[in-house]
Amino acid sequence: MELILLFLPLLSFIISGFFGKYLGDRTSEIITSLFVSISALLSLIIFYNVITQGYENNIIIAKWLNSGSLNVNWSIKVDSLSAVMLVVVTLISSLVHIYSIGYMSRDPHKPRFMAYLSLFTFAMLTLVTSDNFLQLFFGWEGVGLCSYFLIGFWFKKDSANAAAIKAFIVNRVGDVGFALGIFLIFYLFGTVNYDEVFQQIPQNLYNELNFLNLRINSIDLICILLFIGAMGKSAQIFLHTWLPDAMEGPTPVSALIHAATMVTAGVFLVVRCSPIFEYSQLALNIITVVGMSTAFFAASVALVQNDIKKIIAYSTCSQLGYMFFAAGVGAYNVAMFHLFTHAFFKALLFLGSGSVIHSFKDEQNINYMGGIWKKLPYTWILMIIGTLALTGFPFLSGYYSKDAIIEYAYLRGNTVGYYAVVVGIFTALLTSIYSWRLIFKTFHGSYNNEKLKIETMHESPFAMLFPLIMLAIGALFAGYFFKELFIGHSSSSSFWKESIKFLSPLSLDHPPFWIIYATPAMVILSIPFSYYLFVKNKNITNWLINENKPLYNFLLNKWFFDELYDFLFVKPFKKIGIFFWRNVDIKIIDKFGPDGISNLIKIFSIKAVKFQSGFVYQYAFIMLLGFSALLTYLIII
């Protein structure tokens, strides 16, 4: 069953990618969607077996590397952690495949698009089922490659090409840290297999290494390097700049890669390596600070963005920050719970925004929308469900997972945890405001699009609405039904077993009254506040913008991270590259290399042509010279 689950997406990629032009668009769409849906069904069966029977397995597909002490298998590791990820990856992927049938109906390259989606799914499944760091890295790079393909799918758009290259390069920065972490693990422990590494960690707590002329604990260094890789893949602050630009890809790509699966790989890495991170308080504190900084930064930027997909992209960035600071305070199971619930409501919001964009003929600016809730009633109500879940409205999925993060951060009882609580609650307020700003400016108020008449607005086809309905069910009920399983005191430890390690058990105390009710209260009050601000009295909004123009521009320009990186890295390296190109490549390598050799051959050829005169006596003279040279050589030797 596990083999079928893993290789069906790869098979659908091969069929659609190599034979799609012969099979036709419809056949390619059906095959890829069907195969990935079968994988999703099998993952649900495995998840059920894990819950009810405690099922675990490690299937060795093949011996991969066997050199000295390096013994690496290609395997499928099934435990509680990988079972959760299998459900998230395959279920969201199958719904995105089905959604793409309607959304990409006018695209001439549908088989290629569906093939890329399937290949991405296979790479992600390889990542989450690995039992060693090398296979994990293979899947890690695989999803990065597929991300490049999918973001730049519309390669005739310069902006799409630039976004794909940016995503690829920024992720490589994080991957350098990840690769160094794997090298260090093998250097210290002589293996890259999870179980063998985790067993050796307690015996190496006090080893120190000289790194960049600094004495640093080896466990701390491993954790920091691994987290740098997670920062790049999960778009944490400083390595986040690729995520908003990645919205240049088709909307199904945004839902699959940048909401529910690839960007959660970093969170999965930290949780999978909890047996290492639990022994590094330094790394956990860094994760908490980076996570809460990312949550606040992304939420503040989302407040003023006008592109509907970029608002949701920054929201994703912010929610990933929540997951990381949950892991940073040691609540790994809570981080996974939020990852699980977030997959449903964030994919719902992305696909819902795609439905809006589809109706507006590819318009993405919310300032050119409004007043269409009666024209798109199903999309409207489904996006409201996603928004309520995202903001943590009581009894929806986000309410259970996000509040649990804040509560456990408080119960951690250290200074970093208390800071995380304050930032988390304030960020929740910002999340609610920007989320309702998107809903109200998109669906309510006056209709603001001058290019399209409101009469032309129409609801999306059923192929696009069906995945939204399924995701809405998850957004409504996933938190309620799985809270006890994931984070309940009685059943959580029995469910996660050894897939997550807690050096000290999570606190069983109850947080103060205000911690429990502060976030839901603010979320509820923000709805009428946002409606008044963005629909009933827009003059106040305009006045606030005009009175705080520097702050507004600061947020609108995303804290000027792109401009800063352009100044610090892009322009200097571009100048260095141009210098070496002109002075080394052209004037030295080319001049004395291929260009010099070709010029020399050309000169000899021109000289040799002169002997081809057509006169017999000249040919006889050349033959005589050649014969003399040959005779001289024979005499000498």
Instruction: Determine how many CB atoms are found less than 10 A away from the CB of residue 627.
Output: 10
Average pLDDT of the residues in 125-138:
94
What is the number of other CB atoms lying within 10 angstroms of the CB of residue 621? 12
In this prediction, residue 207 has a pLDDT band, given cuts at 50, 70 and 90, of confident
Whole-Å CA distances, 110 to 124, 183, 456: 21, 40, 26
Identify the helix (H) or strand (E) that includes residue 230: helix 218-233
Residue 490 confidence class, pLDDT cut points 50, 70, 90: low
Q: What's the average model confidence in pLDDT over 577-582?
A: 88
pLDDT of residue 276 exceeding 80: yes
pLDDT at 615 over 70: yes
Q: What is the pLDDT of residue 337?
A: 94
The first and second tokens of residue 3, run together, are 């083999």
9 contacts 79 by C-beta, under 8 angstroms = no
User: In this predicted structure, which of 154-163, 379-388, 507-516 has the lowest mean pLDDT?
Assistant: 507-516
Q: Which of 107-121, 177-191, 436-450, 617-631 has the lowest mean pLDDT?
A: 617-631
- pLDDT above 70 (res 493): no
- Under the banding of pLDDT at 50, 70 and 90, the label for residue 260 is low
Q: What is the reported pTM?
A: 0.91
Q: pLDDT at residue 585 above 90?
A: no
Computed over every residue of the chain, the mean pLDDT equals: 89
- Residue 492 banded pLDDT, cuts 50, 70, 90: low
pLDDT at 235 over 70: yes
User: Rounded mean pLDDT of 448-463?
Assistant: 86
Which pLDDT belongs to residue 205? 83
- The conformation of residue 568, written as its DSSP 8-state character, comes to I
What integer is the mean pLDDT of 548-558? 91
Q: At 210, is the secondary structure helix, strand, or coil?
A: strand
Distance CA 214, CA 220 (A): 13
Does 473 score more than 90 pLDDT?
yes
Token pair 């993952």: residue: 43
Q: SS3 for 340-354, per residue?
A: HHHHHHHHHHHHHHH
Whole-number percent of the chain with pLDDT over 70: 98
Question: Is the model's pLDDT at 95 over the cut of 80?
Answer: yes
Flag whether pLDDT at 441 surpasses 70.
Answer: yes
Looking at 294-353, which runs of residues are DSSP E strands? none
CA distance 83 to 56: 9
| Burial readout 14-33 (b: 16 or more C-beta within 10 A, e: otherwise) | ebbbeebeebebeebbbbbb
Q: How far apart are CA 135 and CA 550, in angstroms?
A: 48
d(CA 187, CA 173): 22
Q: Which of 357-371, 545-559, 602-616 has the lowest mean pLDDT?
A: 602-616
Looking at residue 454, its pLDDT comes to 85
Q: What is the pLDDT of residue 489?
A: 73
pLDDT of residue 259: 65
Which amino acid makes up residue 420? A
3-state secondary structure of 208: strand
How does DSSP assign 507-552, residue by residue?
P-SPPPHHHHHHHHHHHHHHHHHHHIIIII-HHHHHHHHHHTHHHH
Confidence bin at 222 (pLDDT 50/70/90): very high
Instruction: Supply the pLDDT for residue 112.
Output: 92
- pLDDT above 70: residue 491: no
| Cβ-count burial 192-209 (b if 16+ within 10 Å, e if not) | bbbeebbeebeeeeeeee
Mean pLDDT (whole number) for 611-637: 79
| DSSP for residue 397 | H
- For residue 374, pLDDT over 80 is answered with yes
Residue 328: how many CB atoms within 10 A of its CB?
28
How many CA atoms within 13 Å lie on the side-chain side of 362?
Answer: 7
286-295, 339-348, 536-545: lowest mean pLDDT where? Answer: 536-545
